[in-house]
Amino acid sequence: MRGRQLDDLRQAADTPWKAWNEVWRVLAYPRIRLLFAMSGIAWSEGWRFYGTPVVQRHRQSVMRLGSGLQLRSSVRSNPLGANHPVILTTWQAGARLEIGADFAMTGGAVCAAVSIRIGDRVTVGANSIITDTDFHPVEVAQRVLQPAAGTARPVVIEDDVFIGMNSLVLKGVTLGRGSVVGAGSVVTRDAPPGAIVAGNPARVIHPEPGSDPAP
């Protein structure tokens, strides 16, 4: 244990901003604990918050967050800089937002109108957005009559997925286990397990479509 403590002290000396991040994390703990209690969300072990997230849970929805959650909402908490705090939202009655263990995210938002299910060990890069709804209808007449009646379809993000910064994951998408989304991508279609997808709209860039799998 003594060796580990010395390593921590050396790191604090070499990267003082990280030490300050830990100080602010500890000071913010009571406020964040109260935020989740008032939102009716059960607290779990190993949660770490750098800056205060925005939590918007519809009272007739489900929001479940696994152990080891790490949310970075402060601009100083990540070298890429959060544009705004992490926002977690269940937008409508009956919505479900379920996140597994060891989820990490900097800035950005996750918004569920029907269902977003995220597996274990998923990392979301700075300022990315995951949503299962268009929010507003495409047709003008419907948009005038029902401005919040956009199309919604469930999103599934399986275990060990990495989503690069400034990406959008949109309605109806499934990201297969271990897949990677390149930075700045707009994901409108499924990604197979282990694939790398990138672009707008995102497409599989590795392995190349039609190529034989490695032996």
Residues with catalytic function: 136
Name the helix (H) or strand (E) containing 203: strand 202-206
Rounded-to-integer distance, Cα 214 and Cα 78, Å: 36
Give the long-range contacts of residues 40-43, CB within 8 A, separation 24 or more: 41/65
Positive or negative, the CA dihedral 6, 10, 11, 12 is positive
Check residue 99 and report its DSSP letter.
E
Burial environment of residue 50 by CB neighbours within 10 A (0 to 12, 13 to 18, 19 or more): buried
Strand, coil or helix: 28: helix
Rounded-to-integer distance, Cα 160 and Cα 124, Å: 11
